[in-house]
């Protein structure tokens, strides 16, 4: 069984947010409910100001604090290393949202970011909170896949409806292999500068492990002990020589 | 209680949706992608297989890039779009807009069929009171109106306006319609509101009126003048793929970006030079100055001084510098005769005793190879364009200019890219020429890692020739009327389009008043500079809109003839310059049209069939849009693409025909053609002139013949008839036009200097104390995502936000004006006032405000309409570069105050 993990290379990332929109359409997210967000920030003074950015999916922690605090065991870790939410069990208490150090969880019934509310325009039927006309065929409430019912928390699931169908023994889940393309997570598949890599963290020969080693991969907020399965790498070609927030930089600043 | 209720209903929901989930799982199972098939296979599949996911090939329509897309449809519903693999532009990837395309199909505000206006009053707040009509009535209404106009001898009062054109099945139909009907205004494109300055610059210098193609993969230095490479430059998706490559290859491609703000591109580059808007030429000239004085030009391509010395000396003409050098050498020889004598004595020994005849060369003689006029350009313009001079004009530090010039001049391959950053000013063409001249100095033209001229695809011919369907009326001299935008007349002799002036010209009745206009993929009533003039002008014109969306043009429309959205079309998309080699893209409908809309080609054909006279026969012979596509595809039978496409069916299946590699290559100053295996077939100077540099000199012209008024024209015999060669071709001769006098009159350039890239101060408009820059954001580059709520939620990064876009202002400037972060502000120019929310950022020049372009719709759908901020076009003056005709979008000045 693979332990799925992701590497994001900030040296290549252009901050375009295609990961965000690909995820939104693949997973039927509401406007602004960006499971895979990109955060921008500026530093310094004109004319030496720098703008930097960092994409932020769910870290799919090895030691997920959201799982620990969930009172109904709705949030759980799968055998292949992904943190999922069972919408049939979630009671919307939001403990997980507070416990998550990375801010990557979303509650369904927030005030809409954009008016008119798409939930009113594309009304859901039955338990669907909304029903966009382009809704994909996949729906599995036990894994937090598809459109959520009201009153629950949702999050990035590494496109579990795709990756869980990858052939057994897959090491690198990459576009490079035509037979695997349909199983690659939406954000990884579309990333134009190829700043994302996906594969088995348990296999020492996987591409993700090679890049983590070669470019000194680091994880966000290591001190929390959550041990994310999303690694960041960077290099001299990054925007403003981007340093990974809260982590080591592979660029020697000294 | 509430929780329990939810729980119950959720279980019921699960039961209801369980089957859908299972079917989806079956469709995706297995390693062989069971359930996924290309369209042609799917069509062959049993009709019972309704749960199959079908992938159709299409071309994204949200910008001009031509990204091939895979459209996923299950049970008749389009639910996903991904980039096509094995596609030369998308390579399986997409930009952020691409994925949102399904929204454009299912936009709830789309027109459901043709509409007729019943409220004769027009205005922002007038409800058009549309009522549905039949397509037959719609076509008849248009044809009757055009027939009446023609009967009165006023067919020139009909105009076709188009914006994003796709190719021969839309743009290709306008010209024939205009020619047979008898109007000079078919079509008028939007290019003068796009980037015509760079195109004219290339025509002036390279004989090529178009965009460059770029070999990003192999370049080691990218000097970028105002191209928003990581936001809106085309093709964004491919550019990002190349960015990932360039930034991690060895050696890493170094990028310097010249910008007026801290854009994403500037932020991601190695160096950002923040230039004062409209002064790009000064910076480019100073870079050239340093490269020349320090001997960093590409000698293989440009050539060198005959004596091998460098006579480009600061502030001196080449002749003066060479004379001084000769004098100094003489003096040195006199001072040290022994050394000179030794050297002279040693020379014959080196030549193995052979007698060397040294021909006297004039001091400072320069043997120019593939360029024309370098020394003259230096003497006239560049010799005094020092870094210090440029620093005073541009605000960029002299030491940074020197550093960039040295880097750019010593890294090979290197190239310059640019677009409307330098171009959208009154001095746009000369800015773009100065920037483009740097490409020639480093020998980037047709070199590996350099710039190219793209080649067209070998489409088949249409079954009928419209020239045979012109009647006497269409052919009569009376039909030779000026265009409504006055291009090609005395005021705009070099411009190709002048769409932004149409409203103004119509209101003034100069050259005449329009009667009827048809719009496709363009919305100047919202996007043109000084757009409010259009709101007056379009009141008394019969407007035919073809957008399927309720945009501003359609709010003024008398008839709405909604075309299909792109996912419903069978449409040819000709290529845009990018790789140099030819490409032809094809849209295939993913589903049957959702509503009673029509293919755009069929709209034109059906109107045509209802016209009086022989032109109706032409359109009857064409039949419908599919006939057009099939006829065009015939061309691939004899010339199959590199991906095997050789027919209509295979084109549909793959979505693209292309032929690699690019046919030409300049290698160290020698030109070669691809011989099937390598760039090994040498090209003569005549080959290069005929195929690549189509200038009079057959070279890259630092001193442009075109802008000096030198053109090749048909030679006339004494009796006034055109002379012919023995084989019936026109005899061509060098002729003189008064282009130089025109430029002298419009821009004050002396008659001797009109051919040179040079800095002319921009004419800023609007009257305020701050520059006003209106860039395009990545999420809304061509404005087609305005009504997509997901796009609105992602307008970041710098000027953007999560629900709106902001006015970017430097904190020092804001402080002086008493403006705090998120304050509502009023931005004023001589044209009026708009409102926005301020975002204080250190990424803004203190003298420049930044507000993204094409936000602030007053129509376009429920999410776009009325969403702030104010629209930049309302306070941007309608001024154009007199040479290219390009609207000076970035030349406005404004003042700001807290609202």
Residues B750-764 pLDDT 10s: 999 999 999 999 999
CA distance B511 to B897: 40
Distances (CA, A) of B25 to A46, A161, B21, B66, B279: 53, 8, 6, 32, 59
- Which residues of chain B are within 8 Å of residue A31 when distances are taken between CB atoms? 789-790, 792-793
Comparing CA positions, the residue from B783, B805, B806, B807 lying closest to residue B793 is B805
| CB < 8 Å to A16, chain B | 95-96, 230, 236, 240, 264, 778
Cα B704 to Cα B362, B698, B699, B709: the distances in Å are 25, 11, 10, 9
pLDDT of residue B384: 98
Contact A181 B846 (CB under 8 A): no
Strand, coil or helix: what is B95? Answer: coil
pLDDT average, residue stretch B146-161: 98
Scanning every residue of chain A, which has its alpha carbon at the shortest distance from the alpha carbon of B271? Answer: A240
Q: What is the mean pLDDT of residues B499-507?
A: 98
Residues sharing a CB contact under 8 Å with residue B508, sequence separation 6 or more, in sequence order = none
Kindly state whether B9 is in contact with chain A, defined as any CB-CB distance less than 8 angstroms. yes
Q: Tell me what the mean pLDDT of segment B380-401 comes to.
A: 97
Q: Angle of helix B615-622 relative to helix B600-609, nearest 10 degrees? A: 140
DSSP 3-state of A242? coil
pLDDT band at B47 (very low <50, low <70, confident <90, very high): very low
Nearest CB neighbour to A182, from listed B36, B79, B862? B36
Pairwise CA distance, residues B882 & B741, whole Å: 13
pLDDT of residue A138: 92
Q: How confident is the model at residue B781 (pLDDT cuts 50, 70, 90)?
A: confident
Q: Contact B492/B503 with Cβ under 8 angstroms?
A: no
- The percentage of chain B sitting over the pLDDT mark of 70, rounded to a whole number, equals 91
Q: Is any Cβ of chain B less than 8 angstroms from the Cβ of A103? A: no
Residue A17, φ and ψ in degrees, nearest 5: 75, 15
Does the beta-carbon distance from B9 to A44 stay under 8 Å? Answer: no
CA distance B161 to B579: 29
To the nearest whole angstrom, how far is the Cα of B245 from the nearest Cα of chain A? 7
Neighbours of A233 (CB within 10 A): 24
Tokens of A60: 């799919």
What is the pTM for the complete model shown?
Answer: 0.92
Cα separation, B432 vs B197, in Å, equals: 7
Least confident range of B41-55, B409-423, B609-623: B41-55
Pick the closest to residue B405 from B259, B280, B223, B247 (CA basis): B223
CB B53 within 8 A of CB B26: no
Q: What 3-state DSSP class applies to B6?
A: helix
Inter-chain Cβ pairs, chain A and chain B, closer than 8 A:
244
Q: What is the mean pLDDT of residues B731-743?
A: 96
Q: Is residue B47 classed as helix, strand or coil in its secondary structure?
A: coil
Q: Do the chains contact at A128 and B13, CB–CB below 8 Å? A: yes
Across the interface, whether the CB atoms of A51 and B25 are under 8 A apart is answered: no
Q: Does residue A251 carry a pLDDT above 60?
A: no
Residue numbers in B near A90 (CB within 8 A): none
By the CB < 8 Å criterion, does A121 face chain B? yes
Structural tokens at position A17: 């947010």
Q: From the CA of B243, how many Å to the nearest CA of chain A?
A: 6
User: In chain A, which among 61-80 make CB contacts under 8 A with chain B?
Assistant: none
**Which residues of A fall within a CB distance of 8 Å from B802?**
32, 113
Q: What pLDDT is stored for residue A240 in this prediction?
A: 63
ipTM over 0.90: yes
Distance in angstroms (rounded) separating the CA atoms of residues B682 and B664 = 10
Q: What beta strand segments (E) does B378-502 contain? A: 414-418, 451-452
Q: Are B371 and B756 in contact (CB under 8 A)?
A: no
Burial class (CB in 10 A: 0-12, 13-18, 19+), B673: middle
- CA distance linking residue B189 with residue B178, whole number of Å: 13
pLDDT at B345 over 70: no
Q: Residue B63: pLDDT band by 50, 70, 90 thresholds?
A: very high
For residue B36, pLDDT beyond 60: no
| CA neighbours closer than 13 Å in the CB half-sphere of residue B549 | 28
Residues in chain A with CB shorter than 8 Å from the CB of B17 are 126, 139, 146
- DSSP code per residue over B517-579: EEEES--HHHHSTTTHHHHHHGGGSEEEE--SS--HHHHT-SEE-PBPPGGG--EEEE--SSS
- The more confident residue out of A252 and B420 is B420
pLDDT digits (tens, 9 = 90+) for B523-544: 999 999 999 999 999 999 999 9
Among A21-35, B22-36, B360-374, B694-708, which stretch is predicted with the lowest mean pLDDT? B22-36
Over residues B574-600, mean pLDDT: 96
- Check pLDDT > 90 for residue B453: yes
A:167-206 residues touching chain B, CB 8 A cutoff: 167, 175, 178-182, 186, 189-195
Model confidence at B38, pLDDT cuts 50, 70, 90, reads: very low
DSSP conformation class of B804? S
Q: What is the DSSP string of A131-172?
A: --TT--S--BGGGTBSSPPTT-EEE--SSHHHHTTSPTT--B
* Distance from C-alpha of B214 to C-alpha of B245, rounded to nearest angstrom: 14
Return the percent helix, strand and coil in chain A, to nearest 5: 20, 20, 60
Residues B873 and B531 sit within 8 Å (Cβ to Cβ): yes
**Which residues of B are less than 8 Å from A113 in CB distance?**
793, 802-803
pLDDT at B363: 81
Encode pLDDT of B260-269 as tens digits. 999 999 999 9
pLDDT, tens only, B869-896: 999 999 999 999 999 999 999 999 999 9
User: Does the structure show a pLDDT above 70 at B798?
Assistant: no
**Mean pLDDT rounded to a whole number for chain B:** 91
- B311-330 confidence digits (pLDDT tens): 999 999 999 999 999 999 89
User: Nearest CA to CA, how far is B785 from chain A (Å)?
Assistant: 12
Residue with the larger pLDDT of the pair B21 and A63 = A63
Chain A stretch 139-158, residues whose beta carbon is closer than 8 A to a beta carbon of chain B: 139-141, 146, 149-151
- Closest by CA to A34, choosing from A9, A12, A55, A52, is A55
Q: Tell me if A193 and B244 make a contact (CB, 8 A cut-off).
A: yes
Kindly give the interhelix angle for B318-335 and B337-350, rounded to the nearest 10 degrees: 100
- Compute the C-alpha angle B478/B481/B484, nearest 5°: 155
Strand (E) or helix (H) holding B833:
strand B832-840
Please give the share of chain B, as a percent, with pLDDT higher than 90. 87
Query: Residue holding tokens 């009026």?
Result: B832
For the ranges B9-23, B337-351, B698-712, the maximum mean pLDDT occurs at B698-712
Q: Is the pLDDT of residue B396 over 90?
A: yes
CA separation for the pair A149, B578 (Å, rounded): 46
Q: Across residues B712-733, what is the average pLDDT?
A: 90
Between B549 and B796, the more confident residue is B549
B240 vs B245: CA distance, rounded Å: 9
* Chain B residues with CB-CB distance to A139 below 8 A: 17, 20-21, 24
Predicted local distance difference test score (pLDDT) of residue B803: 83
A16 touches chain B (CB under 8 A): yes
Cβ contact, residue pair A126, B78, below 8 Å: no
pLDDT digits (tens, 9 = 90+) for B603-656: 999 999 999 999 999 999 999 999 999 999 999 999 999 999 999 999 999 999
Chain B residue numbers with beta carbons less than 8 Å from the beta carbon of A141 are: 10, 13-14
Nearest to B10 among A18, A116, A141 (CB): A141
The DSSP call for residue B487 is B
Average pLDDT estimate for B646-672: 98
pLDDT digits (tens, 9 = 90+) for B510-524: 999 999 999 999 999
What's the confidence (pLDDT) of residue A42?
87
Across B318-382, where does the E strand assignment appear? 366-368, 371-372
Q: Which of B507, B503, B549, B551 is nearest to B529 (CA)?
A: B503
Tell whether the model's pLDDT for residue A230 goes beyond 80: yes
Distance from chain centroid for Cα B514: 28
Mean pLDDT score, B362-367: 90
């Amino acid at each position: 069984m693979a332990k799925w993990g992701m590497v994001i290379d900030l040296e290549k990332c252009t901050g375009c947010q295609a990961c965000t929109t690909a995820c939104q359409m693949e997973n039927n997210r509401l406007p602004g409910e960006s499971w895979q967000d990109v955060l921008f920030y500026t530093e310094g003074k004109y004319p030496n100001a720098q703008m930097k950015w960092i994409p932020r999916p769910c870290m799919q922690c090895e030691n997920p604090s959201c799982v620990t605090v969930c009172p109904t065991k709705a949030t759980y870790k799968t055998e292949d290393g992904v943190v999922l939410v069972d919408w049939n069990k979630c009671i919307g208490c939001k403990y997980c949202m507070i416990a998550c150090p990375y801010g990557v969880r979303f509650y369904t019934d927030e005030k809409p970011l954009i008016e008119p509310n798409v939930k009113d325009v594309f009304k859901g039927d039955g338990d669907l909170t909304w029903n966009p006309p382009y809704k994909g065929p996949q729906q599995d409430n036990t894994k937090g896949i598809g459109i959520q019912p009201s009153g629950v928390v949702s999050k990035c699931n590494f496109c579990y409806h795709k990756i869980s169908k990858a052939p057994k023994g897959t090491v690198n889940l990459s576009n490079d292999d035509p037979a695997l393309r349909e199983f690659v997570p939406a954000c990884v598949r579309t990333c134009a500068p190829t700043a994302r890599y996906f594969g088995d963290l348990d296999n020492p020969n996987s591409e993700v492990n090679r890049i983590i080693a070669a470019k000194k991969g680091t994880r966000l907020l290591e001190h929390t002990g959550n041990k994310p399965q999303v690694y960041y790498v960077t290099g001299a070609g990054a925007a403003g020589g981007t340093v990974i927030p809260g982590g080591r930089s592979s660029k020697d600043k000294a | 209680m509430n929780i329990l209720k939810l729980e119950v209903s959720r279980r019921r929901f699960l039961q209801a949706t369980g089957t859908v989930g299972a079917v989806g799982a079956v469709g995706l199972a297995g390693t062989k992608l069971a359930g996924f098939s290309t369209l042609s296979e799917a069509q062959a599949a049993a009709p019972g297989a309704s749960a199959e996911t079908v992938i159709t090939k299409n071309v994204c329509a949200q910008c001009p890039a031509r990204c091939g897309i895979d459209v996923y449809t299950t049970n008749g519903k389009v639910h996903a779009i991904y980039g096509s693999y094995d596609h030369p532009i998308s390579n399986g990837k997409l930009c952020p807009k691409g994925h949102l395309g399904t929204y454009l199909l299912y936009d709830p505000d789309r027109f459901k069929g043709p509409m007729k206006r019943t409220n004769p009053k027009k205005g922002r707040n007038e409800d058009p009171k549309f009522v549905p009509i039949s397509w037959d009535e719609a076509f008849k209404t248009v044809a009757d109106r055009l027939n009446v106009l023609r009967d009165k001898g006023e067919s020139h009062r009909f105009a076709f306006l188009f914006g994003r054109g796709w190719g021969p099945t839309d743009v290709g139909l306008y010209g024939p319609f205009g020619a047979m009907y008898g109007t000079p205004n078919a079509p008028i494109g939007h290019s003068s509101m796009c980037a015509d300055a760079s195109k004219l610059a290339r025509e002036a210098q390279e004989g090529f009126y178009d965009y460059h193609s770029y070999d990003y993969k192999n370049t080691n230095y990218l000097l970028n003048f105002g191209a928003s490479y990581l936001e809106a430059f085309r093709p964004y998706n491919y550019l990002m793929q190349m960015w990932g490559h360039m930034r991690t290859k060895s050696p890493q491609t170094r990028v310097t970006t010249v910008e007026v703000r801290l854009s994403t591109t500037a932020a991601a580059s190695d160096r950002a030079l923040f230039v004062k808007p409209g002064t790009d030429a000064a910076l480019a000239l100073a870079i050239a100055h340093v490269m020349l004085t320090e001997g960093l030009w590409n000698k293989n391509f440009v050539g060198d001084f005959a004596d091998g010395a460098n006579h480009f000396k600061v502030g001196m003409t080449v002749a003066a510098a060479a004379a001084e050098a000769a004098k100094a050498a003489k003096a040195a020889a006199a001072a040290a005769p022994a050394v000179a004598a030794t050297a002279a004595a040693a020379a014959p020994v080196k030549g193995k005793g052979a007698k060397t005849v040294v021909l006297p060369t004039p001091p400072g003689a320069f043997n120019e190879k593939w360029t024309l006029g370098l020394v003259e350009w230096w003497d006239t313009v560049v010799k005094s364009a020092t870094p210090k001079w440029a620093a005073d004009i541009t605000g960029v530090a002299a030491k940074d200019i020197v550093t960039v010039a040295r880097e750019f001049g010593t890294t090979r391959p290197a190239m310059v890219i640019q677009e409307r950053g330098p171009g959208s000013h009154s001095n746009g063409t000369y800015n773009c020429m100065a920037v483009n001249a740097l490409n020639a100095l480093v020998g980037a033209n047709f070199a590996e890692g350099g710039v190219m001229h793209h080649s067209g695809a070998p489409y088949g011919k249409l079954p009928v020739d419209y020239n045979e369907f012109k009647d006497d009326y269409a052919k009569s001299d009376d039909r030779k009327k000026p265009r409504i935008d006055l291009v090609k007349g005395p005021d705009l002799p070099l411009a190709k389009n002048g769409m932004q002036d149409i409203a103004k010209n119509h209101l003034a009745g100069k050259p005449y008043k329009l009667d009827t206009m048809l719009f496709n993929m363009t919305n100047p009533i919202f996007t043109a500079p000084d757009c409010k003039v259009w709101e007056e002008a379009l009141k008394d014109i019969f407007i035919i809109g073809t957008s399927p969306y309720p945009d501003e043009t359609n709010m003024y429309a008398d008839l709405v003839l909604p075309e299909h959205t792109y996912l419903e079309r069978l449409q040819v998309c000709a290529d845009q310059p990018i790789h140099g080699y030819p490409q032809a893209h094809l849209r295939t409908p993913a589903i049957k049209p959702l509503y009673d809309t029509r293919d755009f080609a069929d709209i034109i054909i059906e109107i045509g069939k209802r016209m009086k006279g022989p032109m109706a026969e032409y359109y009857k012979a064409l039949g419908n849009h599919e006939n057009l596509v099939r006829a065009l595809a015939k061309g691939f039978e004899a010339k199959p693409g590199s991906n095997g496409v050789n027919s209509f069916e295979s084109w549909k299946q793959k979505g693209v025909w292309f032929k690699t590699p690019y046919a030409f290559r300049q290698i160290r100053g020698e030109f070669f053609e691809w011989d099937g295996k390598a760039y090994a077939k040498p090209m003569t100077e005549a080959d290069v002139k005929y195929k690549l540099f189509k200038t009079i000199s057959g070279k890259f012209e630092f001193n442009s013949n075109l802008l000096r008024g030198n053109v090749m024209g048909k030679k006339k015999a004494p009796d006034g008839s055109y002379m012919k060669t023995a084989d019936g071709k026109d005899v061509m001769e060098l002729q003189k036009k008064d282009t130089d006098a025109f430029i002298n009159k419009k821009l004050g350039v002396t008659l001797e200097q009109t051919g040179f890239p040079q800095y002319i101060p921009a004419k800023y408009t609007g009257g305020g104390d701050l520059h006003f820059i209106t860039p395009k954001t990545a999420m809304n580059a061509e404005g087609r995502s305005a009504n997509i709520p997901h796009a609105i939620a992602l307008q970041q990064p710098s000027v953007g936000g999560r629900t709106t876009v902001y006015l970017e202002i430097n904190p020092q400037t804001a402080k002086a004006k008493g403006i705090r972060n998120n304050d509502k502000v009023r931005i004023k120019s001589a044209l009026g006032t708009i409102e926005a929310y301020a975002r204080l950022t250190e990424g803004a020049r203190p003298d420049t405000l930044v507000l993204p372009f094409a936000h602030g719709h007053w129509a376009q759908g429920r999410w776009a309409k009325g969403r702030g901020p104010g629209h930049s076009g309302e306070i941007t003056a309608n001024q154009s570069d007199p040479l290219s005709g390009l609207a000076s979008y970035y030349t406005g000045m404004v003042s700001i105050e807290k609202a």
